[in-house]
Amino acid sequence: MSYELIVIGAGPAGLAAALSARKQGLTRIAILERDKYLGGILNQCIHNGFGLHRFREELTGPEYAGRFIDELSGSGIDVFTDTMVLNVTRDKQVHCVSPQYGYRILEAQSVVLAMGCRERTRGAIGIPGDRPSGVFTAGTAQRYLNLEGYLCGKRVLILGSGDIGLIMARRMTLEGAKVLACVEVMPYSGGLSRNIAQCLNDFNIPLYLSHTVTEIRAQNGRISGVTVSKVDENRRPIPGTEMDFECDTLLLSVGLIPENELTRGMGIAIDPRTNGAVVYENMETDLPGVFACGNVAHVHDLVDYVSKESEKAGAAAAKYVLQGPNEGEAIDVINGDGVSYTLPQRIRVSALDGAAEIFFRVRRNYGKAQIEVLSGDESIAVYKRDRLAPGEMESIRLSRELLSKARGEIRVSIKEQ
Amino acid sequence: MKELICIVCPRGCHLQVDEDNGFAVTGNSCPRGAEYGRNEAVHPVRTLTSTVRIEGAPITRLPVRTASAIPKALLFDAMNEINRTSVHAPVKRGQAVIKDLLGTGVDVIATRDL
């Protein structure tokens, strides 16, 4: 079977990319999804706060997904759920398996990679101590509770102050668990301020910044307690600062890793800063006709931005199929002072329809600050912000005229005022 | 003067609410922030989201939310009501699964088609 576009993943990124490619004129589109349902992680994100930018109202995750799923019916897009993609070749043959069709090879003229990300686990952060049950990633606990109806513990400590951890602190509290504390190794939270306010402060759950879990204890194979220690500026535990908590559950909300096994298998260049593919201004990877968007490209904090970015990728895939590949010289976008990554990593100025939007994250909290774009030593644009935080993705727009002045590369830097 | 973080949108503005001056709000970036600041000082409300048991569907939990915000003081009583509720498929997104929750006049509605 042959398609103009195959989208891998039916979370918010895949759904938006497929619908956008359809609107831009592609008629033979397939979405492949390994779960039984469309919507991806949004199905278990039952809390509200989605869609404020896109729909000007506050929706829950399932409602946000539902709006896109509604649009799919009648669109003529082929949807294959329960379908696992095993690998994709460089000439865009998609190898997949499903109970319904068995092993199949689908051919595509273009591919959108929208596999999302998975959570970092205990192994990724190396916590010492016993290896009992009762240690979950926050998203796993969320799945058990919100989709399957199991509360995974009664006395809970949360390590990491990412948004999923904060949301789970409130959710488990509402379901009758006692959440003892949220512990964050950095001196600032990785989550949105509103989630600190409405998930921790509302329920008097303490947040310990610059602290981490230094021991896990167990009884009869289940976690029975943890030790939390303060850390110094190099994130090393400070002896003498230990606090013991008795708990039956430890949730980890310690970051997300874009799920790029398929991308790597295709030999596509990966950016070690984002752990996602290196992409051009239209979300195209270094393999022409293959695009990446959403959390597989870089971890977002708002789904609204995932949808927007993925529509860009879907439209670009349509353009690739209908009008042929993009040519043209590219400039590199690199991070300067205070910036941890930029996306896109490369911009083909000649391929821009108007302005390029550059997304980035800062390394620490800033008060009033200037975002400066430099080409060589020359400042080509300056943007002012009242505050900047690592937990909140920032973006700037650079016009085509401005970019055509740049030579070779541009650098995005932060200057505190 | 009361200091708050606005929860209306992900921007998270730092608000100051002046109780002695008619609950005047500063630090907000939009009118909704001013409204939130005033309400939070006078009568805090929250939208509650949870799940109810569903039978006859491929999964056992139906996600729900209060159709609008309810008094913050009622959150745990509302959870008790929600946890006593069971529905049968099919359910449509937006359909009421509890009417007039705890006399608030607010319904609890399904947030997913199942």
pLDDT at A115 over 90: yes
Residues A193 and A102 placed together within one structural domain of the fold: no
pLDDT at site A387: 84
**Inter-axis angle of helices A12-23 and A303-323, to 10 degrees?**
40
Query: What domain range includes position A161?
Result: 121-254
pLDDT at site B91: 97
Residues A168 and A102 placed together within one structural domain of the fold: no
The tally of domains found in chain A comes to 3
Q: Residue B83: helix, strand or coil by DSSP?
A: helix
Rounded Cα distance between B56 and B83, Å, is: 18
DSSP summary character for residue B107: P
DSSP summary character for residue A145: I
Q: Which of the residue ranges A304-318, A381-395, B55-69 would you say has the lowest mean pLDDT? A: A381-395
SS3 content of chain B, % helix, strand, coil (to 5): 25, 35, 40
Evaluate whether A140 touches A119 at the Cβ level (below 8 Å). Answer: yes
pLDDT at A51 over 90: yes
Residues A132 and A114 placed together within one structural domain of the fold: no
Q: Residue A60: helix, strand or coil by DSSP?
A: strand
Q: Please check whether residue A239 touches B, CB under 8 A.
A: no
pLDDT at site B99: 97
Q: B8: pLDDT confidence band, cut at 50, 70 and 90?
A: confident
Window A:240-269, CB contacts with B under 8 Å: none
Q: A96: pLDDT confidence band, cut at 50, 70 and 90?
A: very high
Q: Where are the alpha helices (DSSP H) in A44-162?
A: 61-72, 122-125, 138-143
Residues A204 and A227 placed together within one structural domain of the fold: yes
Residues A244 and A177 placed together within one structural domain of the fold: yes
Q: Which of A192, A204, A392 to mutate to test the interface with B (most CBs of B within 10 A)?
A: A192
Query: B27 is written with which tokens?
Result: 């630090």
Terminal Cα distance for chain A, rounded: 58
Give me the residues paired with residue B106 across strands. none
Residues A111 and A26 placed together within one structural domain of the fold: yes
Residues A266 and A235 placed together within one structural domain of the fold: no
Q: Please check whether residue A60 touches B, CB under 8 A.
A: yes
Q: A184: pLDDT confidence band, cut at 50, 70 and 90?
A: very high
Mean pLDDT for B67-81 is 96
Residues A340 and A297 placed together within one structural domain of the fold: no
Select the residue of A46, A60, A197 nearest B7 (Cβ to Cβ): A197
Q: Please check whether residue A71 touches B, CB under 8 A.
A: no
Q: Which of A174, A368, A386 to mutate to test the interface with B (most CBs of B within 10 A)?
A: A174
Q: A128: pLDDT confidence band, cut at 50, 70 and 90?
A: confident
Q: Which of the residue ranges A13-22, A177-186, A268-277, A348-357 would you say has the lowest mean pLDDT? A: A348-357
pLDDT at A142 over 80: yes
Residues in chain B with CB shorter than 8 Å from the CB of A46 are 49-51, 63-65, 111
pLDDT at A378 over 80: yes
Q: Please check whether residue A365 touches B, CB under 8 A.
A: no
- Cα distances from A18 to residues A37, A68, A253, in angstroms, run 16, 10, 30
For chain B, what percent of residues have pLDDT higher than 90? 61
pLDDT at site B65: 98
Q: A191: pLDDT confidence band, cut at 50, 70 and 90?
A: confident
Residue type, A175: E
Residues A403 and A373 placed together within one structural domain of the fold: yes
CATH number at residue A381: 2.60.40
State pLDDT tens for residues A203-213: 999 999 999 99
pLDDT at site A18: 98
Residues A30 and A112 placed together within one structural domain of the fold: yes
Residues A353 and A384 placed together within one structural domain of the fold: yes
Rounded Cα distance between A179 and A149, Å, is: 18
Rounded Cα distance between A40 and A18, Å, is: 14
Q: Looking at chain B, which residue has its C-alpha nearest residue A147?
A: B61
DSSP summary character for residue B99: S
Where along chain B do its domains lie? 2-43, 49-110
pLDDT at A408 over 90: no
Residues in chain B with CB shorter than 8 Å from the CB of A193 are 5, 12, 14
DSSP summary character for residue A237: B
State pLDDT tens for residues A60-86: 999 999 999 999 998 999 999 999 999
pLDDT at site A130: 82
Q: Please check whether residue A205 touches B, CB under 8 A.
A: no
Which ipTM score applies to this complex?
Answer: 0.91
pLDDT at site A140: 96
pLDDT at site A125: 78
Residues in chain A with CB shorter than 8 Å from the CB of B75 are 174
Give me the residues paired with residue A262 across strands. none
* Superfamily (CATH H level) for B49-110: CPE0013-like (3.10.530.10)
CATH number at residue A287: 3.50.50.60
pLDDT at site A327: 82
Evaluate whether A293 touches A18 at the Cβ level (below 8 Å). Answer: no
Q: A119: pLDDT confidence band, cut at 50, 70 and 90?
A: very high
CB-based burial label for A355 (10 Å; 0-12, 13-18, 19+): middle
Mean pLDDT for A151-162 is 95
Rounded Cα distance between B77 and A230, Å, is: 37
State pLDDT tens for residues A295-347: 999 999 899 999 999 999 999 999 999 999 988 889 999 999 999 999 999 99
Domain boundary among A210, A229, A254: A254
Terminal Cα distance for chain B, rounded: 47
Q: B39: pLDDT confidence band, cut at 50, 70 and 90?
A: confident
Give the B-side interface with A, CB within 8 Å: 4-12, 14, 46-51, 53, 58-61, 63-65, 72, 75-76, 79, 83, 93, 111-113
**Of residues A135 and A405, more confidently modeled:** A135
What's the mean per-residue pLDDT of chain A? Answer: 94
CB-based burial label for A130 (10 Å; 0-12, 13-18, 19+): middle
Residues A112 and A134 placed together within one structural domain of the fold: no
Q: Which of the residue ranges A51-55, A169-173, B52-56, B69-73 would you say has the lowest mean pLDDT? A: A51-55
- C-beta atoms of A47 and B111 within 8 A: no
Q: Please check whether residue A351 touches B, CB under 8 A.
A: no
State pLDDT tens for residues A246-258: 999 999 999 899 9
pLDDT at site A177: 98
Distance between A97 CA and the closest CA of chain B, angstroms: 22
The CA-based angle A285-A289-A292, given to 5 degrees, is 40
pLDDT at site A190: 78
